[in-house]
Every structure is written in structure tokens, then in C-alpha cells.
A and B are shown apart, each in its own frame.
Chain A
Amino acid sequence: MTLQGNGGSGGEFGLSRRPRQIAGHTVTFDNEGFLWTSDDWNEDVAAALAAEAGLTELDDTRWRVLRFLRQFYRDNGRAPLNRQLAVGTGMPLLRLESLFPGGIKQGARRLAGLPNPKTCM
């Protein structure tokens, strides 16, 4: 089922909602594959999203990135800039970009359950 968004954090930016089963849960995503609600994230969901993206395993390095993103979002209510991510994880940007299909913005942030960058959240 696809619902036409109208208002709120996603709908007003032209995104539509798509509930689906993942890692044993019914979770609502937007039509670009980002979680509609960040609270729906858990590590099982992240692992399943990673597998769908072609990552057979979320290794410690990738988990470090995802956990940093989650913690930064919890603390600050926004996603970090790339340089903050690089400092926070101790990894250079090029490496960070290469770790996730889709890079940082469309890859790591999506797997970490952060809102779609199109939204203002």
C-alpha cells in the first residue's frame, strides 16, 4: 500500500509511506527507503537493510559508524555534518563514503535509521 503524504516530516516533502515487513517487524519506510520514524530502528532492522543493500555483514567498523550516527542524532536532534562524522568515528571521509552503498547520506544514514535528508528532521 502506498499512501500519499500530506503534512508532517515526510509527506510535505513529496515522500510517501510504505509499510513493510523487515526483520520480523512491520516498519514504515518512505519511498526512498528511509525509516518514516527513527524510533522504529533497531539493530536487526539495520542488519536486514544492510543485507538488502548488498552488505553481507555489518562489521565492527560499520557498526561504529551506525552507532555514532544514532548517538549523534539522539543527542543533537539532527544528522552530523560529514566532518563531525569523520572526527566522531576517527575515519577519513573517503573511507566513510566507501563503507556503505549509497555513501554516507543515502547509505549510512539510511541504515542508521536517521530521517531522509529531504525532511527537515
Chain B
Amino acid sequence: MIKIRLTLNGVPHQVVADPKSSLLDLLRDTYRLTGAKQSCDKKGQCGACTVIVNGKAVRSCTTRVGRLDGADIITVEGLGTPTNPHLIQHAFVLAGAVQCGFCIPGMIIAAKALLDANPDPSTDEIRHALRHNLCRCTGYVKIVDAVKLAGRFLRGELEPAALYPDPDGPKIGVSHPRPSAMIKACGVAEFTADIALPGALEIAAVHSPHAHALIKRIDAAAAAAMPGVAGVMTAADIKGSNRHNYMVTDRPVLCEDRVRYVGDPVALVAAETREQALAAAAAVKVDYEPLPEVHTPQEAMADDAPQIHAEWSNVCLTQPQIKGDAAKAFAEAAETVEAHFVTQCNHQASLEPEVSLAYFEGEGDDAQLVVVGRSINIHKHLAMLQEATGWEDMRYEEAFVGGQFGIKIDVTSEGLTAAAAIHFRRPVRYIPSLVESMYLSPKRHPFDMKLKLAADARGKLTAMGWDILVDNGAYNSMGNVVMLRAIQMLSGSYDIPNVDAMARLIYTNNPWGAAARGAGPPQTHYALESAIDLLARKMGIDPLEFRRRNSLLPGQTKSTGAVVEEWPFPELCDALKPAYDRAVREARAARESGNGAKRRGVGVGAGAFGIGGPGDQSMVAVELDPDDGVTVYGAVADPGEGNDSMLSQLAADALDLPLHKVRLQTRSTDNTTANGPAAASRHTYMSGGSMLDAIAQLKAAMAAAGGSTYAALTAAGVPTRYMGTKKMVVGALDPQTGQGPSFESQVHALQLAEVEVDTETGEVKVLKMTCAVDAGRVIHPLNFSGQIEGGMDMGVGLALRERYIAGQTKDWVTFKYPSTRTAFEMDTIVRETPRPRGSNGSVGVGEMTLVATAPAVLNAIDDAVGVRIYDLPATPEKVKEALAALVSER
């Protein structure tokens, strides 16, 4: 140990600490400062822990305490507070740079270090200064905007007050600061690992190194005897069903007699410190008997394939889709294309690890187990945890959540945490490493797709044929929903009168899949939009014109047979046309002028994404408060999209209230309605809609009471609380034909990719993405464009870099996380066709933004160099190989 003197946020301190320990641990554990975050297992990869030491931005996770004697340290808490923020914190809030907020304290500190040295940095200088700071939400556009805005504030050119919208002014179409933005910018919003839990045991899990094996014996004796260890748990120690029952009881909390993928949890250790728990987990001996593994749907469907679950066939679900007479249309077609497309297993890569904690509140028989975590569906997850652990008196609380993108549709670490709290009767906390977080969480399903498209001589699509195999991985979770949503949106933006499709969902010994931004349609749209381009080019028709010509129109039917009411896709094509023409001209000019080995290309991709789903229901309550404000009660998770803005601005608009008089209760199962997940882009449409229904009831009550105040309602004996509902049409696809009800409303997008391909290295650089989008009326312009930008950045990662390989993808470097080094210019063109059934005319946009990106990029690569990549991601190696094959063909 060593005694050091340091100045922390202007205050001198002396502290005794292990000189080898990290500054991050000192800040978080000794000084209880929560602004600096931990994501990358202290490898210095993410920058969420950035602080300033002696005037320079450093990553505190790799800064040793022993080198800090005499250091002057500034953390985000030293800049400002929510009531007295620093100008940079104002700038991040006003620029709309704060989504989930997990990376933001580190970003703000890195920005301060930059602006202290360079008060007027360029975009390139900002990107360089922030190159060590990762963000999954924003695509870095608004981060750069925020730093530039902060520069203007600091240079005295502008004051924040000039930019804050009037809180009593219009509520719709105005970017009022997110209710949660400033506390995130000041580092005081509590994410799960920030919550103090005195006396908590720390957990580490033992994970299977095998993809398929029998568990013959678990020897925990040595581990149990290690220092600080409270105990070791196996499946036998869990009193409930030990199953995470999302829709099938196939996934154990701890494996009983068999493991089915690399990373399956087998045992857990609880100890006084995380280091002790990790050491003991490494000492647990598990004897495995390896079993034959299947790693593709084709292998799993073979007659002699091992059955992965004794109770269920490897074929989880089969869903055809039949419309018209595809065979006849193919026979009569003027032109056809046929291709085989494959997408990768991918990680959603929210920056925050899969942290959770659990503790008992109260004593004896009245004690309630409180589970805190990252859930986006707290009531469903509560029910799952009750069943899995056998403990009924439980409450789930959603902490602030550092991004999710579908990963938290299912329970990840909470099953282990809740079971351990019950077993040891002590508070427990689980801060999984990045590797463990990847093991415990679901992935984007890989799709294997054979697709055939046909058109007549006029360039009108006449038929499509699909054979889709979805790799469900080892457990089902909600794989059915993912595959069926892909089928429900199979014809994309287009009128395709004849369809012959088959989709199958197959268990394998790969990581299990579930929701991942878009959940199914991004995979099928990659294939469809690539094939559309192939067909257009084959017929000599401009790809944008081909898309416009084949747009579905109101009154026509999708591949499900459902008639659509609105379809503003041709208008989006027209809106994108000027940007498209400019991009084509520039690419052509670049090609003609020659640029060494670099070739420029332009591609477009489209999508029509359904909101919610048939049968969806929502309930949200609204209560008039004694001060005549309102409180909204509903489980409306907000892992970063801005649902707090959506609810508060819609409510304030409907009731003509100032924003500060709308309060939200959305995070605890004890005081919210069970309202469904933050998934399927549904909360604006469903929860916003049910809240507006409750408000309509409240306003009717006010009219009946003859006054709109709390006093008037109570004097009239009228209730002050109202339950609103919204329900979608009930129905399901026919299991034989895939025909049936579809979505009430869609969000439409058309994206333009401009890329530069290095023909020597195969490297693809995205120069610019432009998204023309129509999601109805825009409630909050910055939140809206923030979703578009973040989704396009994620879509480019899906197209070019990202892939999850169990056992090999172990951190943000091996994952190839997007950074300011891969960032690119973005533009958003917004059309606002009001949706008659939307919430104030609005629908959600969080997923659509990703759907069209990958095919636009792949089409641009083809345009640039004439090669088509059929399996994602289009890595430099694949592009280079395809170029070499093209040369040898010629």
C-alpha cells in the first residue's frame, strides 16, 4: 500500500491505496464517484472512464494509483451539477448527444481536455481527440456537434439560454432537453453498477468451454474453501424451475446435466470481493463428456443430427408464405435473378455490461426480493424470475441502462443474481466481464437465405421465392417472433403479387439468438434489397427508379395479403432523388478523374418496418396530482431512445401543461402497469397511444367536473387516475400460407450509401450515408435524427465489420466496435406523413434506421468495383478475394 496526495475536483486529499490498483477503482470505490464508467474490462478500449489528470485526458482504468502522487484530477463531477452545469454539459444536452448516456461523462471529459487546448477544433480534430471514446448510440454525429457547440459557448459566441426551448412553448416538433439528459451528462444518473449495496457478495459464473457436452461432475470443494468465498451454487441449489421461460422452458439459469453452447453457465461463486469470486470460479472443476455438435441449420436438420433438446425437435418453427402463383410468374418472367445470402451472428454491443444486483428489502416473511438490472420488459422478466427461482415476493427495478438494442428482451444475468440472493440470503451484485456479458446475452440470428426475384418486361416485380433458414442457436428465447416478423415484412417496400417462401427456425449449438435492433427484417432486407439491385442492373434500370416503380401503394397488399392504408415510399424516393443524383455525379467524376486504387460507388437500400405487431396491447395510467400536474405510470423502459421525452412531451401537449409538471414513473414493477417491452419500435405508438387514451379520459372527467384542477375533480367526487389502453388488431399468420393481419402502421426509409473501395486492400470506407425517412409527425427532432444516425452507424458495422464468434470475440477490439475513426458524414431527410392511428400522428423509428443500411452499403460496393458480397460482413479480405476472382474471370 502507499499513501498518496492528490487533488480531486479541486479538493486536496490523502489516500492509502494499492499502488497497482487503477484510478478508476479509486474514484468509484473510495470516493464513490459514479461518472467514470467501466465497460471494457479495464483494457483501455472504451474511454467511458476518461478523466483529466494534470491537464490531459486519460483512461482511468489503465492509470495506476501509484503514479498519482501530487496529481490534479478532474472527473465529470468536477465540472458541474444538474442545477449548475458546465457549458460543455449544456452543449451535450442541447445538441442531443445524450442517448443512453453511459459513454457521455467520458466524452465530456475528453471534450474538455480538447477544448482547453484547442478552443475551436475542426471535425477531424474532434474525432481524433475522441478516438478512444466509444459510443453505440449516436454514430458520433451529435457528439461532434456537441463539442463544436461547447466551443461556441466557451468562446463566448453564444449562451446556452439562447438555445433552450421555451418549456411553456410548443411541445411537439421541438427538441426540449430530455428529462434524463442532464443527470447523465453530470455523471449522477445511477446505472446498476453505480448503486451502492453495502455488504454485497460479488458473483462470478463458471461457463462451459464446450458447445455441446454432458456435465458428468462438478467439484467445487477447492473453490468453496478459497478466501472470501461464501459458497458455490449449481442448478440443484435453485428452488424454482431453474428455467428462463420467455416462451419455451428450454434455457436453464444454471445448466443441469448438459451444456448447449460455448458460454452456457454451469455454476456460480459468491464471494466477498469480485476478485475472490473470479479466482474461485476458475477453481471449480467440471467434468464434461463432449457430444456431437451442430453449428449450421443444415447440419441440425440432417437425419442423423443429435437432438439438442430432448423435449423439442431441432426444427423449432416452420412458416411458409404463399401468395398468388409464383411458379407461373417465374415461368412467364422477362427477367429473373437468383442468389444465396448469408448474414452473421452478431452482438448488439451495448456499452454497459450485463450488470444486475439483488437484495432483500424488509425482514422475515415480509422481506421482498428486489432485483435491479437492465430490463426493457420488467413485468415479463419479473414473472420469469419468480418462476425460475421459486420466489414470488419480488420487485424488478430498471436502473439507467447503458444501451440495449434488443439484447435485454430476455433475462441475462438477473437469474443468477436473484438465485444467489435467495440462496445466500445476502445482497449480491453481479458485474460480469465483457466476455461473460457476451456469453450470457442473446445475439442477432444468422440467416441463410436463397432468394429468387422476377420482373416483367416493364421492370415490374412479379414474383419472389425464398428459402430461409434461421440459426436459432441453443435456446429459443423469442426466435419465433424474429422469424415471423421477417415473414411479415418479407416484401419490404414493394408490390410483389406472387410469393412462394419457406422459413425454418433451427436449434444449433451456437450462441442463442433473440432481439437485435430490427430483429429479423434487417437480415431479409439485406437479401431482398441486394437482389432488387441485381435485377435492376440486369434490366438496365436505374436502381432508385426501379424501387420507385415497384413501390406498394395504398390499397395494395403486402406479402401477408394485408392491405396497407398508407405507403409514402414513392415520395421518399422523390425526396432522396437530388442527393442520389448528386452522389452519382460525384462518384462518376471521381472514377473519371482516377484516384489510384480507390473507386467510389453509390448504392441505395429501402425498408418498410412494421410497428408493434398484431395482437399488441398497452396499458398506461395517468393521475392528476394535487399541484395540477400529472404522473404517468407505465413500464416504458428507456434504455436511451428517449421515451422519457416522448411521454412527457405528448402528455404536456395534450394537457397544455409545462413540461416540469409531467412526472414519469416507469421503472419499478411496484408502481407501473405491465406494458410490454421496449421493442418492435412500439413504445411511441403503443404506450404513447395508451397514455393519450388515459389523458382523454382525464379530460372528459375534467369537463364533467366543470374544472381542470385537482381541487375541482376531488370536490366533484371524480377520480383523478385513469387507465388508458391501446390494442392492435388480433390475429396471426396462417401456418400454411403465411397470410394474415399485418401491422397497423409502418415507418418507411430509403438510404443512400456513398463508399470508397480500395481495390488493393479491399478496405471499404463509407463516405456518407443519407436517410430519407417517414415516421409520421416528429415529436423531438434531435431524438429522431439521433436514432437515424445511431442506426446507420450500427448498420454499417453489420455490413462491413462486426461479427460475434463464440470464444473468439472477447472485447471491443475483437468485436470491431465503431469509433470516431470509422465515423462518417450523415444526413437525414424527413417527411412527416401523419399516421391516423399513431400517437399524435407519430410512430417509432428506432429499428427502421438499421434495416436499409447494410444493403445500401453492399450495393454501393458493387457499384464501385463490380463485386457482390453475399455473406456479411463484407470484410476487406472478402472484397479483395471477390476482386481477385473478378480479375481472373476477365
Measured CB to CB, the residues of A under 8 A from B are 3-15, 17, 28, 36-37, 74-79, 81-83, 115, 117-121
Contacts and interface: CB of A to CB of B under 8 A. Distances in A.
A8 B730 contact: yes
A3 B675 contact: no
B485 interface: yes
A75 B723 contact: yes
A9 B480 CA distance: 14
Contacts of A118: 245, 247, 383
Contacts of B676: 9, 120-121
A36 B721 CA distance: 25
A36 B247 contact: no
A82 B613 CA distance: 31
B730 A78 contact: no
Interface in B680-708: 680
Contact of A83 (B393, B481, B617, B735): B393
B481 A120 contact: no
A8 B617 contact: yes
Contacts of A9: 615-617, 676
Q: Which are the 5 A-B pairs with shortest beta-carbon distances?
A: A8-B615, A77-B673, A7-B613, A14-B247, A120-B380
Contact of A77 (B478, B619, B732, B733): B619
B89 interface: no
A4 B247 contact: no
Residue from B377, B480, B732 with most neighbouring chain A CB atoms (10 Å): B732
Given A14-B480, A119-B380, A120-B377, A4 B615 contact: no
B673 A76 contact: yes
Given A7-B612, A9-B617, A120-B677, A78 B480 contact: no
Interface in B344-388: 366, 368, 377, 379-380, 383, 387
A78 B618 CA distance: 11
Contacts of A83: 366, 368, 393
A15 B732 CA distance: 11
B730 to A, nearest CB: 7
B732 A4 contact: yes
B519 to A, nearest CB: 11
B484 A81 contact: no
Contact of B634 (A3, A13, A77, A79): A77
Given A6-B485, A9-B615, A77-B620, 20 more contacts: A6-B481, A6-B614, A7-B615, A7-B616, A8-B614, A8-B616, A9-B617, A12-B247, A12-B480, A13-B380, A15-B247, A28-B730, A37-B617, A76-B621, A81-B392, A81-B394, A117-B383, A118-B245, A118-B383, A121-B619
A12 B366 contact: no
Interface of A is mostly: loop
A101 to B, nearest CB: 19
B728 interface: yes
A7 B485 contact: yes
B541 interface: no
A3 B485 CA distance: 16
B669 interface: yes
Nearest to A83: B393
Contacts of B735: 4
Interface of B: 245-248, 366, 368, 377, 379-380, 383, 387, 392-394, 478, 480-481, 484-485, 488, 612-617, 619-621, 633-634, 669, 672-677, 680, 721, 723, 727-728, 730-733, 735
Contacts of A7: 481, 484-485, 488, 612-616, 680, 732
A6 B392 contact: no
B484 A8 contact: no
A75 B622 CA distance: 11
B634 A6 contact: no
Contacts, number: 114
B672 A4 contact: no
21 contacts: A4-B735, A6-B488, A6-B732, A7-B488, A8-B728, A11-B614, A11-B615, A11-B732, A13-B247, A17-B730, A37-B727, A75-B721, A75-B723, A76-B621, A77-B619, A77-B672, A83-B368, A118-B245, A119-B380, A120-B677, A121-B674
A71 to B, nearest CB: 12
B620 to A, nearest CB: 8
A6 B613 contact: yes
B674 A78 contact: yes
A6 B484 contact: yes
B723 to A, nearest CB: 6
B4 to A, nearest CB: 50
A34 B730 CA distance: 16
B391 to A, nearest CB: 11
Contacts of B247: 12-15, 118
A4 B488 CA distance: 14
The winner among B246, B393, B619, B730 for most chain A CB atoms within 10 A is B730
A18 B442 CA distance: 31
A121 B617 contact: yes
Contact of A5 (B393, B488, B732): B732
Contacts of A28: 730
A90 to B, nearest CB: 16
Nearest to B613: A7
A119 B675 CA distance: 10
A60 B829 CA distance: 63
A74 B723 contact: yes
Given A75-B723, A118-B383, A14 B732 contact: no
Nearest to A16: B732
Contacts of A81: 392-394
Contacts of B488: 6-7
Contacts of B387: 117
A76 B613 CA distance: 24
Contacts of B393: 81-83
Contact of B615 (A10, A76, A82): A10
A82 B732 contact: no
A112 to B, nearest CB: 15
A8 B673 contact: no
Nearest to B317: A4
Most buried by B among A10, A15, A120: A120
Contacts of A14: 247-248, 480
Contacts of A76: 621, 673
A84 B298 CA distance: 51
Nearest to B379: A120
A14 to B, nearest CB: 3
A118 B613 CA distance: 18
A120 B674 contact: yes
Contacts of B478: 12
Contacts of B633: 77
A77 B723 contact: yes
Contacts of B672: 77-78
A12 B723 contact: no
Contacts of A4: 732-733, 735
**Max chain A Cβ within 10 angstroms of own Cβ: one of B247, B485, B723:** B247
B621 A77 contact: yes
B392 A78 contact: no
A82 B369 CA distance: 13
Contacts of A119: 380
B675 A77 contact: yes
Q: Which of B368, B613, B620 has the most CB of A within 10 A?
A: B613
A103 to B, nearest CB: 11
Contacts of B484: 6-7
A27 to B, nearest CB: 13
A12 B682 CA distance: 14
A7 to B, nearest CB: 3
A17 B732 CA distance: 9
A3 B344 CA distance: 32
